[in-house]
Amino acid sequence: MERLQALLATLPEKHQAALVWFLDRAGTEQNWPEPLPDGTILATKAKGIYKPSWSRYALTIRETIGSPYPDRDPKLRPDGSWSYFYFQENRDAAARDSEFTNRGLVACWRDKVPVAVMRQVSEKPRSTYRILGLALVAGWGDGYFVFEGFRPDGQSIGRGSAADFRQAGLTPVAPPEEFGLETMNDAREKILASIVRRQGQPEFRRRLLDAYDGRCAITECDVVDALEAAHIVPYCGPKSNHPSNGLLLRADVHTLFDLGLVSIDADAMTVVIAPRLAMSVYGELSGKPLRLPTATDLKPSRPVLDQHRAWAGL
């Protein structure tokens, strides 16, 4: 059993306040939620899953009338709890982790972070939404995230059960794997393989090392073993391995770039960071000019940089 107040207490104040807005209105119908007094946005009309740039976690999921996704009606229980099968972003179940919104829900699943759930009940001119309340991501299978809603007393059954998936005709998968000492050797092998993959395809990485004179495009780090060939838009075949779709980045910055926490202003060719990084050691990167190759055909493409920044929401 999971208790809501204990889970909320582990979150930053801003995150707590956003979730409490939904908690206080659970079971009611509301107009589109306006930002909180401090400007915190509670949901976005652009996507059904809202993962704010200031958090690694998804904050809200929203079902709309006429949605192209096969979301299922919630099942209410006598004790006030409920379960809800909500389809991921991207109709291809195998592509779950290619979407930052889905990754935000997976992070909620892994770390037991509550998510707000709202469903549209009327359309324009006066769109209204029923606030189901807060729920935990109980699992995932065949493209569906299953949510377990908290009871009025703040209790939840947590991860749910395999029986719920079988009854829905779905195949559950295990939660994100936790590290254990018994897996240490396997983990080391995975880490080494991951480093090779992250450094990039050998030819693509070599071309970027040459183009950027062996220095990170953002930090100017010149430790070659720490530099990785980052795709600006995800790899989708050999044509993706053109230097104009790449940046040579230090490994940690590459990770932040892939998470959408670091991006590039294509007009100014300067670094943009997520607000949550502003007070961290990465805050000094904000506004820093991008180190560019001399050759025009090797410089990063402005359109793909714009695409990455729009995806990151920065």
Residues 57-74: pLDDT tens digits? 999 999 999 888 999 999
Q: What is the pLDDT of residue 235?
A: 59
**How buried is 259 (Cβ within 10 angstroms: 0-12 exposed, 13-18 middle, 19+ buried)?**
middle
Please indicate, yes or no, whether the overall pTM of this predicted structure exceeds 0.75: no
Kind and range of the H or E run holding 5: helix 4-8
Q: Residues 59, 42: contact at Cβ < 8 Å?
A: yes
Rg, Å, the chain Cα set: 21
List the pLDDT tens digit at each of the 314 positions of the chain: 468 888 898 899 999 999 999 999 999 999 999 999 999 999 999 999 999 999 999 999 999 998 889 999 998 888 888 989 999 999 998 899 899 999 999 999 988 899 999 999 998 888 899 999 999 998 888 899 999 999 888 887 655 544 455 555 666 665 555 444 444 444 444 444 444 444 446 788 889 999 999 999 999 999 998 998 888 887 555 666 788 989 999 989 998 998 889 999 999 999 999 998 999 999 999 999 999 998 888 999 999 999 999 988 89
145 with 51: CB under 8 angstroms?
A: no
Q: Which helix (H) or strand (E) holds 141?
A: strand 128-141
The one-character DSSP state at 286 is T
Structure confidence at residue 53 (pLDDT) = 92
Angle at 84 between CA 159 and CA 111, to 5 degrees: 35
CA gap 20, 29 in Å, rounded: 16
Domain ranges for the chain, please list them: 2-167, 182-312
Tens of pLDDT, residue by residue over 124-133, are: 888 899 999 9
What's residue 9's pLDDT?
87
> What local confidence, expressed as pLDDT, does residue 290 receive?
95
Q: Report the CATH fold assignment for 2-167.
A: PUA domain-like (2.30.280)
The pLDDT score that the predictor gives to residue 204 is 85
| pLDDT value at residue 157 | 65
172 CB-near residues (< 8 Å, 6+ apart):
139, 140, 141, 162, 165
